[in-house]
Amino acid sequence: MTQTVKCISPIDGSVYAERPLLSEAAAFEAAARARAAQGAWAARPLSERIALVRAAVAEVGKTTDRMAEELAHQMGRPVRYGGEFGGFEERASYMADIAEDALAPIVIEDSETFLRKIEREPQGVVFVAAPWNYPYMTAINSIAPALIAGNAVILKPAAQTLLVGERMAEAFHAAGIPEDVFQNVYLSHDSTSALIAGRAFDLVNFTGSVGGGQAMERAAAGTFTAVATELGGKDPGYVRADADLQAAADTLIDGAMFNSGQCCCGIERIYVHESVFADFLSRCVDIVKGYKLGNPLDSETTIGPMANARFAAEVRAQIAEAMEQGAQAHIETFAEDDGGTYLSPQILTHVTHDMRVMRDESFGPVVGIMPVTSDDEAISLMNDSDFGLTCSIWTQDTAAANALGRRLQTGTVFMNRCDYLDPALCWTGCKDTGRGAGLSVLGFQALTRPKSYHLKKA
């Protein structure tokens, strides 16, 4: 009997999409086709690969209304936010813009005697395991530069967003990218592990849970297959006494609650100088009380359901445990909170790092806010985490933010903003967030390997 994978819509618990999983044999055949096609793809001029990727992005852009509605059904993001094409296009376009320079040879010497240079060659077959929370934008981080660099790509979409891979494959193939060069596949965990262990891929790019990243690394053990991981975070914000409090409240709360808090770089804990704590908290509470929880297909809804009842249950458990340990909740339960996927956003104070809500990844619409007495105390608390993806500092003093940033264990330091991925900067992390280098010039380096030429002419 053929195994299937299902997308259960958070809107009403119905089966929104169901697809058959590839057998292990069929999965290896798909990988073999990708490897066979990759050489011819890499042999095409770089300018041609860039143009085809740009055309594929434009094809995706023809269906943005469908994208927004399908994402609402699959993972609950309100249609009012319009899908993900803006970030999708921005990231792919930037990588296309810099490709020729990023992939250009480094010429050490070109004299009458020697030609010495370093060139970049594609890794080969790149496997992209994409997450459900930003399925288009996260996938394109690797797919666009991988294809541009001459790799073949196999995409495995998350179960919660089954249709995304199909939509991307339709667009990329319509634009002229060969079907074997870019493939969308549905795989079981066992088949995925078998492919990695069997050296079907030259690079694995995984965005997801810590457990998922560990499984990828275990499968790759001893194969020397490169594994790049981005495994989420517990990202902190720090509001100094000189901060613009309204701007800080507006942006940090949006960073904590947008997408129902289901953002890898979402704000999950906030530290505020004690002199402005009460004022800042009041502004945050007012913002959250103005949210409208509801069906994401309703244009009035500002916060939709969480993607899965299991995810919502974990957030509720963290909130309940914190309150049992003395935390104070500032938001009353919304009338639309059904005890399932529809979850009221919450702000907690009187929290400590003994509470899971301040230590474990919540990945939901809850944030703990703590007062601090100094920069040193804030830095200590911000670093007191198993994760290290981003952090956000709110101040009028750029020099201070620079100095504090050097002391923070994180992949990205923001000042007076948060929850944004700049494609010109490297997207990376440390600690349990994993290891990887996405986007920027470094993204091309991760998707290629160096090859040295030492040619003696005479």
1 has pLDDT over 80: no
Q: Does domain 4-231+434-456 have CATH number 3.30.450.40?
A: no
DSSP per-residue string spanning 308-349: -HHHHHHHHHHHHHHHHTT-EE-SPPPTT--SSS----EEEE
- Structure token pair of residue 70: 């399908």
* pLDDT on residue 458: 80
Q: CATH second-level architecture of 235-423?
A: 3-Layer(aba) Sandwich (3.40)
Residue 121's CB is within 10 A of a number of other CB atoms, namely 14
Q: Are 447 and 126 in contact (CB under 8 A)?
A: yes
Question: What average pLDDT score do residues 333-344 get?
Answer: 98
User: For 168-211, how does the pLDDT look when each residue is reduced to its tens digit (9 = 90+)?
Assistant: 999 999 999 999 999 999 999 999 999 999 999 999 999 999 99
Q: Is the distance from CB of 284 to CB of 252 less than 8 angstroms?
A: yes
Given a contact cutoff of 8 angstroms between Cβ atoms, the answer to whether 433 and 389 are in contact is yes
Per-residue DSSP letter, 80: G
Residue 433 has pLDDT above 90, yes or no: yes
Task: Tell me the residue type at 456.
Answer: K
Give the model's confidence band at 2: pLDDT under 50 very low, under 70 low, under 90 confident, else very high: confident
Contacts of 221 (CB under 8 A, 6+ apart): none
Q: Where in the chain is the domain with CATH 3.40.605.10?
A: 4-231+434-456
d(CA 139, CA 142): 6
Catalytic site includes residue 230: yes
Predicted confidence at residue 232, as pLDDT, reads: 85
Which pLDDT belongs to residue 367? 98
Q: Find the helix packing angle between 135-148 and 162-175, rounded to 10°.
A: 40
Q: Where in the chain is CATH 3.40.309.10?
A: 235-423
**Is 166 an annotated catalytic residue?**
no
Catalytic residue among 70, 89, 230, 361: 230
Question: Quick one: average pLDDT of 272-295?
Answer: 98
Residue 419 confidence (pLDDT): 82
Tell me the percentage of the chain whose pLDDT exceeds 70.
100
Active-site option among 7, 59, 70, 264: 264
118-to-246, 442, 444 alpha-carbon distances in Å: 50, 15, 14
What's the pTM value of the predicted model, to 2 decimals? Answer: 0.97
What pLDDT is attached to residue 403? 98
Q: Write the pLDDT tens digit of every residue in 42-99.
A: 999 999 999 999 999 999 999 999 999 999 999 999 999 999 999 999 999 999 999 9
Tens digits of residue pLDDT in 368-416: 999 999 999 999 999 999 999 999 999 999 999 999 999 999 999 999 9
CA 84/CA 306 separation, integer angstroms:
17
pLDDT (tens digit per residue) in 96-133: 999 999 999 999 999 999 999 999 999 999 999 999 99
What's the pLDDT score for residue 263? 96
Angle in degrees, CA 88, 93, 94, rounded to 5? 105
